[in-house]
């Protein structure tokens, strides 16, 4: 089974993430998804793109902590050898979230289950977030394994809900059930049953609207802040890379999280 699938359905592009049993995002999945994103964004017959999870109860739980630890080892070795380092936020892996944020067409995160870390950052990079009712959680909980968001979670969250809320949530690793996420402004709508069906209903509203007008709306709103998203994300990426390279406690916390069976307490 492919870890990521892409389909075209009556003017809608749908990208679905599958990675049983845990539902983590991996670099392999990102490599699969990047050409799919490019294809959908450049296909004039596609008017909007939906991202969702293929596993019951899981959108994307988070990015693989095992892979972050492996990144840490590679980064440490490169620094020991004095090798030039590509800025973390500009690496091909890291640009995945930027590519979603910068898509010309409206994007919808159809959150069908656990959505944390890199998965929450993917949802934040989308224009519209809708969540299926359930007892799963949504949020940026990276501090619980000793690190910070590394794919835009601090900046995009602050711009969505305000710096005060974002600061508390990221500092504490707070996560939210769907109804709480709606109340706090983290998602736009709660869906009682099939979230993908509701995402398609919203997506259908864009099918008869001028693509250039939709693109212009996205551009003017996203560029309306004094500091660009990219500048803030660059800073975040540098801090993330520094943590996984130099902070022994962060490494220990990630290793303990893996040993504990990938379980987070809800805060």
Find tokens 């699938």 and name the residue: 5
Q: Which two tokens stand for residue 201?
A: 């209903």
Contact by Cβ (8 Å): 51, 109: yes
Annotated active-site residue 121? The verdict is: yes
Q: Is 260 exposed, middle or buried (0-12, 13-18, 19+ CB in 10 A)?
A: exposed
Active site residue 184: no
C-alpha distances in Å from residue 131, one per residue of 40, 151, 198? 23, 21, 10
Helices and strands (DSSP H and E) totals, the chain:
11, 10
Q: Map residue 119 onto helix, strand or coil.
A: helix
Give the strands of the sheet with 138-139, arranged side by side: 57-60, 113-116, 138-139, 175-176
7, 32, 142, 205: the catalytic one is: 142
Alpha-carbon span 199 to 9, nearest angstrom: 12
What's the N-to-C CA distance of the chain in angstroms? 34
Catalytic residue among 7, 73, 121, 255: 121
Q: Give the residue numbers annotated as catalytic, written as ranges.
A: 121, 142
């Amino acid at each position: 089974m492919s870890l990521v699938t892409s389909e075209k359905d009556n003017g809608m592009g749908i990208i679905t993430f599958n990675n049983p049993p845990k539902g983590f995002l991996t670099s392999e999945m990102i490599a699969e998804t990047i050409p799919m994103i490019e294809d959908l964004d450049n296909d004039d017959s596609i008017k909007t793109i939906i991202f969702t999870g293929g596993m019951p109860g899981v959108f994307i739980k988070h990015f693989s902590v095992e892979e972050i630890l492996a990144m840490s080892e590679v980064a440490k070795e490169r620094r020991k050898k004095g090798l030039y380092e590509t800025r973390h936020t500009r690496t091909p892996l890291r640009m995945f979230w930027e590519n979603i944020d910068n898509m010309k067409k409206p994007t919808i995160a159809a959150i069908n289950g656990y959505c944390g870390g890199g998965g929450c950052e993917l949802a934040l990079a989308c224009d519209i977030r809708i969540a299926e009712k359930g007892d799963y959680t949504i949020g940026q909980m990276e501090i619980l394994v000793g690190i910070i968001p590394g794919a835009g979670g601090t900046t995009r969250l602050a711009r969505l809900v305000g710096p005060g809320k974002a600061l508390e949530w990221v500092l504490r690793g707070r996560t939210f059930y769907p109804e709480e996420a709606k109340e706090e402004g983290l998602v736009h709508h709660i869906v009682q049953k099939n979230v993908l069906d509701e995402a398609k209903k919203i997506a259908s509203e864009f099918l008869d609207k001028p693509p250039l007008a939709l693109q212009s709306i996205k551009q003017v709103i996203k560029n309306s802040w004094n500091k660009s998203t990219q500048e803030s994300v660059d800073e975040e990426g540098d801090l993330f890379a520094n943590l996984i390279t130099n902070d022994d406690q962060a490494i220990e916390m990630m290793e303990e999280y893996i040993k504990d069976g990938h379980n987070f307490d809800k805060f």
